[in-house]
Amino acid sequence: MAEGVTPQNEDYSRWYTDVVQMADMADYAPVRGCMVIKPYGYALWENIHDALDRRFKDTGHVNAYFPLFIPMSFFEKEAEHVEGFSPELAVVTVGGGEKLEEPLAIRPTSETIIGHMYSQWIKSYRDLPVLINQWANVVRWEMRTRLFLRTTEFLWQEGHTAHATSEEAVEETLRMLDVYTDFAMNEAAIPVIPGRKSDSEKFAGAINSYTIEAMMGDKRALQSGTTHYMGQNFAKAFDIQYLDQNNELQNCWTTSWGLSTRMIGAIIMAHGDDKGLVLPPRLAPIQVVIVPIYKNDEERVPVMEAADSRFQQLKAAGIRVKLDDRTECTPGFKFNDWEMRGVPIRMEVGPKDVANQSVVLARRDIPGRDGKSFVSWADLETQISELLVTIQKAIFDKALAFREAHTYNVETIEELTKAVDDGFAMAWWCGSRECEAAIKAATKSTNRCIPMDQPGGSGKCIHCGAESTEKAIFGKAY
């Protein structure tokens, strides 16, 4: 890490791409708009995968795998869906050297092909609910791309469920919104706002879409996960029907929900600073890095021995630990390198520490002396486990305080315009598309969501003045 990243306040966008590349998270691929997720970035995705997958299974879901290819005709079956996704499709026209009779789209999302299969699998009310998730790659032909945030191909999970009643489908949609919220808050340490999307921002083909909305370090919003209640739209388009207890044919009620590698971008921008990444301990590929410090061979032997013992000690305790035993670079270089990679705790082991049978722990989230502590070898696992919990909470609290400091209750369009330059604006909104469009045009911000957590009461719509019962959040968004 010869040089640092562009400072955030100089150019946030450049800071972001600098960090992604210098922390070895991802690289540009030789195909337009595509990325390579490098091992360090992929290890973070594996931890995101595991934390989510556990939650999916705990809520009764199973995984399956559906084809990458979707016949073009499938998209035509749901009018809003085709309108939403057609412009973004990558299309296979040649297979095995021959032109295909029907071109195949690469899945941009799998409602259509999964709906087709469900129509064959679901016969009776006894087959319901169907609660399936898929981990997969998807492709959307994007014009402007950015590593993790918007790429032509990305990795995600997409849940697709079918239910006997509208109530159950709505319940599922909100349950998965809770799952995403819980994941974001407790694993990614990001204080997201769960909310409902406005009609103009919802998924193509949904009745209602829900989002977890996060504030990034530049005060812009990032939609970090979404769940959709489809009503019977896809059931009707794909004949997903079941015989009810009275032997009558009914349409199912379906949902879908997805969270993608974009979450990695959210983690980078929610917590990162001018030294690089700051990773939440629960998801960090490496939670503790041990840097041995010695001046000569005489010091090296006992230091390396102590460092290696600490490594074994922590590894046995289930802590994700790495011993940086590189001989070609200095401790100072290593400090910078691991700060760039956002490792929550750095452990320094020098000759004095060996003599004292202790180590120095330095927190990534608190620079300098304030973040340092001296801990004895004896109860190191316990101390580190507790410190990891402390850091997890600290970076969440920091992000929450930041968001709260940059969220404004506004009552006029002028206030809103000013507020969205410095964060989120909360405003009464009547719910009409017209007012939403007018606000967007006037302020260059978008309606991020109508938070599930509402203040209650009512007030005047910030645009038309009509009595409104819900507040919406407006902001500039990725």
Among 10, 13, 137, 318, contact with a second copy (rule: CB under 8 A): 137
Instruction: Give alpha helix (H) positions in 341-408.
Output: 351-356, 380-405
In angstroms, what is the minimal distance from the CB of 122 to a second copy?
13
Should residue 1 be labelled a site residue for a second copy when binding is judged by CB under 8 A? no
Among 19, 48, 128, 136, contact with a second copy (rule: CB under 8 A): 136
Among 14, 54, 93, 378, contact with a second copy (rule: CB under 8 A): 93
In angstroms, what is the minimal distance from the CB of 388 to a second copy?
21
Q: Which residues are within 8 A (CB) of 269 and not within 5 positions of it... i.e. 6 or more apart?
A: 16, 216, 217, 218, 222
Distance CA 231, CA 459 (A): 30
* For a second copy, the closer CB: 104 or 384: 104
Among 88, 178, 239, 299, contact with a second copy (rule: CB under 8 A): 88
Q: Which residues are within 8 A (CB) of 435 and not within 5 positions of it... i.e. 6 or more apart?
A: 429, 461, 462, 463, 464
Distance CA 435, CA 416 (A): 13
Q: Which residues are within 8 A (CB) of 78 and not within 5 positions of it... i.e. 6 or more apart?
A: 111, 112, 205, 233, 234, 237, 238
Pairing of strands 153-163, 253-260: antiparallel
Rule CB under 8 A: which of 365-424 touch a second copy? none
Among 7, 54, 60, 63, contact with a second copy (rule: CB under 8 A): 63
21 with 41: CB under 8 angstroms?
A: no
Should residue 45 be labelled a site residue for a second copy when binding is judged by CB under 8 A? yes
Should residue 278 be labelled a site residue for a second copy when binding is judged by CB under 8 A? no
Should residue 69 be labelled a site residue for a second copy when binding is judged by CB under 8 A? yes
In angstroms, what is the minimal distance from the CB of 316 to a second copy?
16
Should residue 309 be labelled a site residue for a second copy when binding is judged by CB under 8 A? no
Rule CB under 8 A: which of 444-473 touch a second copy? none
156 forms beta bridges with 136, 260
String marking each residue 105-124 x if it binds a second copy according to CB under 8 A: -x------x--xx--xx---
365, 372, 381, 393: which is closest to 314 by C-alpha? 381
* For a second copy, the closer CB: 26 or 427: 26
In angstroms, what is the minimal distance from the CB of 57 to a second copy?
10
Among 5, 44, 48, 104, contact with a second copy (rule: CB under 8 A): 104
Should residue 96 be labelled a site residue for a second copy when binding is judged by CB under 8 A? yes
In angstroms, what is the minimal distance from the CB of 21 to a second copy?
12
* Burial tier of 116 (Cβ tally within 10 Å: 0-12, 13-18, 19+): buried
Among 92, 405, 437, 442, contact with a second copy (rule: CB under 8 A): 92
Stretch that binds a second copy, among 10-18, 76-84, 100-108, 200-208 (CB under 8 A): 100-108
Should residue 277 be labelled a site residue for a second copy when binding is judged by CB under 8 A? no
Q: Which residue is listed with tokens 């700060």?
A: 339
308 with 324: CB under 8 angstroms?
A: no
In angstroms, what is the minimal distance from the CB of 392 to a second copy?
24
Should residue 442 be labelled a site residue for a second copy when binding is judged by CB under 8 A? no
In angstroms, what is the minimal distance from the CB of 260 to a second copy?
12
Residue 194 carries which side chain, given as an amino acid letter?
Answer: P
In angstroms, what is the minimal distance from the CB of 247 to a second copy?
14
Count of residues touching a second copy (by CB under 8 A)? 58
Instruction: Give alpha helix (H) positions in 248-296.
Output: 262-271
Give pairs for 242-245: CB < 8 Å, separation 24+. Answer: 242/122, 242/123, 242/124, 242/125, 242/127, 242/128, 242/164, 243/123, 243/124, 243/125, 244/125, 244/164, 245/125
Stretch that binds a second copy, among 15-23, 61-69, 271-279, 379-387 (CB under 8 A): 61-69
CA-derived radius of gyration, the chain: 25
String marking each residue 3-42 x if it binds a second copy according to CB under 8 A: ------------------------x-xxx--xxxxxx-xx
CA distances 100 to 14, 82, 138, 171, Å, are 43, 21, 21, 42
Rule CB under 8 A: which of 315-334 touch a second copy? 328
Distance CA 149, CA 56 (A): 23
End-to-end CA distance of the chain: 28
Should residue 64 be labelled a site residue for a second copy when binding is judged by CB under 8 A? yes
451, 375, 417, 469: which is closest to 210 by C-alpha? 451
Should residue 43 be labelled a site residue for a second copy when binding is judged by CB under 8 A? yes
In angstroms, what is the minimal distance from the CB of 152 to a second copy?
8
Handedness of CA 118, 123, 125, 128 (dihedral sign): negative
* For a second copy, the closer CB: 127 or 199: 127
* Burial tier of 9 (Cβ tally within 10 Å: 0-12, 13-18, 19+): exposed
**Applying CB under 8 A, which residues contact a second copy?**
27, 29-31, 34-39, 41-43, 45-46, 62-71, 74, 86-97, 103-104, 106, 113, 116-117, 120-121, 126, 132, 136-137, 139, 141-143, 152-153, 155, 328
